[in-house]
Amino acid sequence: MRRAILILGLCGSATVLVAGAMKADGISDRAKKVHFSSIVVDTHDDTTQRLVDGKFDIGRRDTNGSIDIPRMKEGNLSAIFFSIWKSSKITGHDAVKRALDQIDSVREQIRKHPDALVLATTAAAVRDARKQGKIAALMGVEGGHMIASDLGVLRSYAALGVRYMTLTHSGNCEWADSSTAKAGHNGLSDFGKDVVREMNRLGVIVDISHVSDKTFYDVLETSEAPVFASHSSCRAICDAPRNMTDQMIKDLAAKGGVIQINYHVGFLSQEFRDAEKAKPELEKEIQAEVAKRCGDNESCQLIEGDNVVREYVKAGKLPRVDWTKIIEHIDHAVKLAGADHVGLGSDFDGAMMPFGMEDASKLPRITEALLQRGYSESDVRKILGENTLRVMTEVDRVSREMNAAVSKGERVLSSVRTKSERAGK
Ligand SMILES: [Zn+2]
Q: What tens digit of pLDDT does each residue of 45-59 get?
A: 999 999 998 889 999
In the predicted structure, residue 156 carries a pLDDT above the cut 70: yes
| Per-residue pLDDT reduced to its tens digit, 134-153 | 999 999 999 999 999 999 99
CA of 169 to the centre of ligand 1 (A): 6
The more confidently predicted of residues 10 and 161 is 161
In the predicted structure, residue 232 carries a pLDDT above the cut 60: yes
Q: Return d(Cα 372, Cα 276) in angstroms, integer.
A: 32
Q: What is the DSSP letter of 322?
A: B
Q: Which residues contact 274 (CB under 8 A, 6 or more apart)?
A: none
| Per-residue pLDDT reduced to its tens digit, 292-317 | 999 988 888 888 988 999 999 999 99
In the predicted structure, residue 9 carries a pLDDT above the cut 70: no
Write the DSSP string, 27-55: -BHHHHHHHHTSPPEEEEE-THHHHHHSS
Write the DSSP string, 89-100: T--HHHHHHHHH
Strand ranges in 88-161 using DSSP code E only, listed in sequence order: 117-119, 135-142
Q: What are phi and psi of 408, to 5 degrees?
A: -80, -5
In the predicted structure, residue 131 carries a pLDDT above the cut 90: yes
CA of 216 to the centre of ligand 1 (A): 15
Say how many C-beta atoms besides its own lie within 10 A of residue 21's C-beta.
10
CA of 347 to the centre of ligand 1 (A): 7
CA of 28 to the centre of ligand 1 (A): 33
Cβ-count burial of 250 within 10 angstroms (0-12 exposed, 13-18 middle, 19+ buried)?
A: middle
| Per-residue pLDDT reduced to its tens digit, 93-115 | 999 999 999 999 999 999 999 99
> pLDDT band for position 23 (50/70/90)?
low
CA of 166 to the centre of ligand 1 (A): 8
Give the pLDDT mean for 168-175.
97
CA of 86 to the centre of ligand 1 (A): 10
CA of 350 to the centre of ligand 1 (A): 8
CA of 231 to the centre of ligand 1 (A): 7
CA of 142 to the centre of ligand 1 (A): 7
Q: Return d(Cα 179, Cα 220) in angstroms, integer.
A: 16
CA of 158 to the centre of ligand 1 (A): 20
In the predicted structure, residue 10 carries a pLDDT above the cut 80: no
What is the model's pLDDT at position 417? 58
CA of 257 to the centre of ligand 1 (A): 18
> pLDDT band for position 7 (50/70/90)?
very low
CA of 170 to the centre of ligand 1 (A): 8
CA of 63 to the centre of ligand 1 (A): 23
CA of 122 to the centre of ligand 1 (A): 22
CA of 208 to the centre of ligand 1 (A): 10
CA of 46 to the centre of ligand 1 (A): 8
Task: Report the b/e string of 106-137 with b at 16+ CB within 10 A.
Answer: bbebbeebeebbbbbbbbebbeebbeeebbbb
CA of 242 to the centre of ligand 1 (A): 9
CA of 351 to the centre of ligand 1 (A): 9
Give the pLDDT mean for 245-257.
98
CA of 346 to the centre of ligand 1 (A): 10
Q: What are phi and psi of 47, to 5 degrees?
A: -60, -25
CA of 48 to the centre of ligand 1 (A): 13
